[in-house]
A and B are shown apart, each in its own frame.
Chain A
Amino acid sequence: MSPFIRIRNVTRRFGDVVAVDDLSLDIDRGELFCLLGASGCGKTTLLRMLAGFERVDSGSIEIDGIDMAAVPPAARPVNIMFQNYALFPHMSVADNIAYGLRRAGLPKPEIVARLEELLRLVRLTGMGARQPHQLSGGQRQRVALARALARRPKLLLLDEPLAALDKKLREDTQFELVDIQERLETTFIVVTHDQEEAMTLASRIGVMDAGKLVQVDTPRTLYDRPRNRFIADFLGTVSFLEGVVTSVNGGFVSIDGAVSVTAADPGGFAVGDAVRMAIRPEKIALGRAPSGGVNEIPVTVEDLAFTGVATNYRVIGPDGVRLKLTHPNRRGDVVPLEWEQTGFVSFDPADVVLLRD
């Protein structure tokens, strides 16, 4: 079976700028896919091409087996939820949501029934008569969602759906969005620059940079097994170490640099290769005395910050090697080290990600 959405070698240029560069991507039916990238990486352009607002310079987009090249926005089985919701300010909540249904020329009783159903779906029952400016940010977001879902699109595109909400509300809304997506089984493509948002929402994430997809994977794989330095750095916090491979045997790679590190062998590395190692802060343990395990480095605390959940440390090792680590704030735990104190950090060889760039 062919994928639900098939994007093949799509390119879009604005003058000299290549917004989307020879990009190919398949998305399955019912998936909640996230396009993640910094502003200007081309993710919104790709979204607008899917919706039909942007011309495709070369390549093709297929949705549900049909080539979209000649299909205008109104005729696509696609709806879009705009970044700032783009609610019609002169229409009530009900008129906003029913807009697409009216344009489709549905009979009145059917519109009324569908409207009630949508209001219930986004928990706005009884709010139909309100004007958009009388709503809170969260309510506006849900009106926008209901309006975009009204025509039962096969594909819903969401442009930064949570960016305009404050942090607390954003967390609740994330789960609500996933819940609605799972209930309707509609394919969602979410565009966002917020990696945390992407991680919580998506079943798969495509990270974009300069018009290209750098890596497409599940959130866990992206986080634990980034393909290159850009991905490792873009998602979450990471410490980098540099070195040269000195031996490869028994499933382990030994690397010599400012410090000696043993890493699990991902395959493909040979003695003499220059490598960059990426280690996540929560994978690094901190102690006052050496424990005698592998990958143990003496360090001095340079900086620490208590965040509630954990304490974030910045430590300096031999040769000025800097590491960032997170020490969880468990019950009965004492903060092991204070400013300027010395101690030891250690990490498991399996938690060292080897990168070539």
Chain B
Amino acid sequence: MAAARQWIARHGRRLVVALPLLWLLVFFLLPLVEVAQTSFTVARRGIPPFAPLWGFGEDGFFTNFNLENYGLLLDYWQDYIGPAGNSLRLAFFSTLICLLFAYPMAWWIARSNPRRRAILLVLVMLPFWTSSLLRIYALIGLLNPNGFINSMLMFLGVIDTPIRMMQTDFSIYMGMLLTYLPLMILPLYAVMIRLEDDLLDAAADLGASRAGVFLTVVLPLTLPGIIAGSLLVFIPAVGEFVIPALLGGPEQIMVGKVLWTEFFRNRDWPVASAIAMLLLAILALPIIYARYQDGRETALDRVEGQANGPGNTS
């Protein structure tokens, strides 16, 4: 008992780190390796519906390694890379629209008094507590040719025939905005709440116009929030296919839809895995690069700070 307590005292901190690390290893890294392996093997009938990448059979070591799945993606690029382009475009503009709506909203929340701020934050997060599918159907109810908006406008005599809002880019982006807006607002709010009023006053005091204060002080200091929010929206938006499927027309196929089709309809797991790996590469590489740059700058700052920061005070 005493020995156990001593062991915990000595290794407890490591244990706290090791457990989540182990969890990530088993449930995050291993599946990822599995997907990567699958993307290099061949499909077959059976369970699982693909041949093992490597193994030991009667003739000793064998491997099914091949690049044909990736070759297929290139050969039929209209069917695979095309949807990926659609998805990237959708994600890009969704992120942009979310940013345009979220920025002033987050600003307003951060500048409100504490009581109103708490209420507004709850309102921002409220949609998270209802099913996203439910919210999409509610939106359909609003945008339909015989939905609420068209009925109202026709009742008021503004229009004679319903405006076509469903199955357009408008309806898709409305759905994306509805779903992803909180993910953009919250990181922006987090940086804006830390922005000192004195900094804005100082800029104004030194002769900056309102636009000048925004461009030289507010924008650079909220940039980390813009980046964080944009990543939070962009990444899941690339894989999004429910919203385009429900709200959009049949002409725009998203890569998430293709992935789903390959997995569940064609049961071609290797090709599906190859698509997944391609998506991962498109999304992860720029982020890893950005983090690497960021980390290098911080490390450099720390070295310089130690060299000539505190100590020589006068």
Stretch from A112-120, A128-136, A185-193, A258-266 at the B interface: A128-136
CA of A353 to CA of B122, assembled, Å: 61
A79 and B208 in contact (CB under 8 A), knowing A86-B198, A99-B216, A138-B314? no
Most buried by A among B208, B221, B311, B314: B314
How far in angstroms is the closest Cβ of chain B from A164? 13
B130 contacts A by Cβ under 8 Å = no
Query: Chain A residue with minimal CB distance to B197?
Result: A86
Q: Are B203 and A134 in contact (CB under 8 A)?
A: no
Q: Are B206 and A82 in contact (CB under 8 A)?
A: no
**Which residues of B sit under 8 angstroms from A172, Cβ to Cβ?**
314
CA of A37 to CA of B218, assembled, Å: 33
CA of A191 to CA of B310, assembled, Å: 28
B202 contacts A by Cβ under 8 Å = yes
Most buried by B among A78, A90, A104, A150: A90
Q: Are A103 and B207 in contact (CB under 8 A)?
A: yes
**Which residues of A sit under 8 angstroms from B34, Cβ to Cβ?**
none
B312 contacts A by Cβ under 8 Å = yes
How far in angstroms is the closest Cβ of chain B from A11? 22
Residue in B206, B301, B309 whose CB lies within 8 Å of A103: B206
CA of A51 to CA of B199, assembled, Å: 14
Q: Are A133 and B305 in contact (CB under 8 A)?
A: yes
Number of interface residues of A (CB under 8 A): 32
Query: Chain A residue with minimal CB distance to B206?
Result: A100
Number of interface residues of B (CB under 8 A): 27
**Which residues of A sit under 8 angstroms from B314, Cβ to Cβ?**
136, 138, 169, 172
Query: Chain A residue with minimal CB distance to B219?
Result: A90
B308 contacts A by Cβ under 8 Å = yes
B131 contacts A by Cβ under 8 Å = no
CA of A47 to CA of B62, assembled, Å: 82
A131 and B301 in contact (CB under 8 A), knowing A86-B201, A88-B199? yes
Q: Are B217 and A137 in contact (CB under 8 A)?
A: no
**Which residues of A sit under 8 angstroms from B304, Cβ to Cβ?**
134
**Which residues of A sit under 8 angstroms from B311, Cβ to Cβ?**
136
A89 and B221 in contact (CB under 8 A), knowing A82-B201, A84-B198, A151-B207? yes
CA of A84 to CA of B312, assembled, Å: 20
Residue in A53, A89, A136 whose CB lies within 8 Å of B309: A136
Query: Chain B residue with minimal CB distance to A99?
Result: B206
Q: Mark A87-123, 1 if CB is under 8 A from B, else 0.
A: 0111000000001100110000000000000000000
**Which residues of B sit under 8 angstroms from A88, Cβ to Cβ?**
199, 202-203, 216-217
**Which residues of A sit under 8 angstroms from B252, Cβ to Cβ?**
none
Q: Are B202 and A82 in contact (CB under 8 A)?
A: yes
Residue in A73, A79, A134 whose CB lies within 8 Å of B308: A134
How far in angstroms is the closest Cβ of chain B from A219? 26
Query: Chain B residue with minimal CB distance to A133?
Result: B305
A151 and B206 in contact (CB under 8 A), knowing A134-B304, A134-B309, A136-B309? yes
CA of A99 to CA of B203, assembled, Å: 8
Q: Are B205 and A79 in contact (CB under 8 A)?
A: yes
**Which residues of B sit under 8 angstroms from A90, Cβ to Cβ?**
220-221
Q: Are B301 and A136 in contact (CB under 8 A)?
A: no
**Which residues of A sit under 8 angstroms from B305, Cβ to Cβ?**
133-134
B58 contacts A by Cβ under 8 Å = no
**Which residues of B sit under 8 angstroms from A53, Cβ to Cβ?**
201, 204-205
Query: Chain A residue with minimal CB distance to B196?
Result: A86
CA of A130 to CA of B307, assembled, Å: 12
**Which residues of A sit under 8 angstroms from B203, Cβ to Cβ?**
88, 99
CA of A79 to CA of B202, assembled, Å: 9
CA of A321 to CA of B110, assembled, Å: 56
How far in angstroms is the closest Cβ of chain A from B200? 9
How far in angstroms is the closest Cβ of chain B from A93? 12
Q: Are B312 and A74 in contact (CB under 8 A)?
A: no
CA of A133 to CA of B304, assembled, Å: 11
B293 contacts A by Cβ under 8 Å = no
**Which residues of B sit under 8 angstroms from A74, Cβ to Cβ?**
204-209
Q: Are B208 and A103 in contact (CB under 8 A)?
A: yes
Q: Are B310 and A73 in contact (CB under 8 A)?
A: no
A79 and B201 in contact (CB under 8 A), knowing A88-B217, A90-B221, A139-B313? no
**Which residues of B sit under 8 angstroms from A51, Cβ to Cβ?**
201, 205
CA of A220 to CA of B2, assembled, Å: 70
How far in angstroms is the closest Cβ of chain B from A5? 17
A213 contacts B by Cβ under 8 Å = no
A136 and B206 in contact (CB under 8 A), knowing A84-B198, A88-B217? no
3 closest cross-chain pairs (CB), A and B: A100-B206, A86-B198, A103-B207
Q: List 26 A-B contacts (CB under 8 A).
A: A51-B205, A53-B205, A74-B206, A74-B208, A80-B202, A82-B198, A86-B202, A88-B199, A88-B202, A88-B217, A90-B220, A90-B221, A100-B206, A103-B208, A131-B301, A133-B301, A133-B305, A134-B304, A136-B311, A136-B313, A137-B313, A138-B314, A139-B313, A147-B206, A150-B206, A151-B207
In addition to A88-B217, A99-B216, A151-B207, 6 A-B residue pairs with Cβ atoms within 8 Å of each other are A53-B204, A73-B205, A74-B209, A86-B196, A134-B301, A137-B313
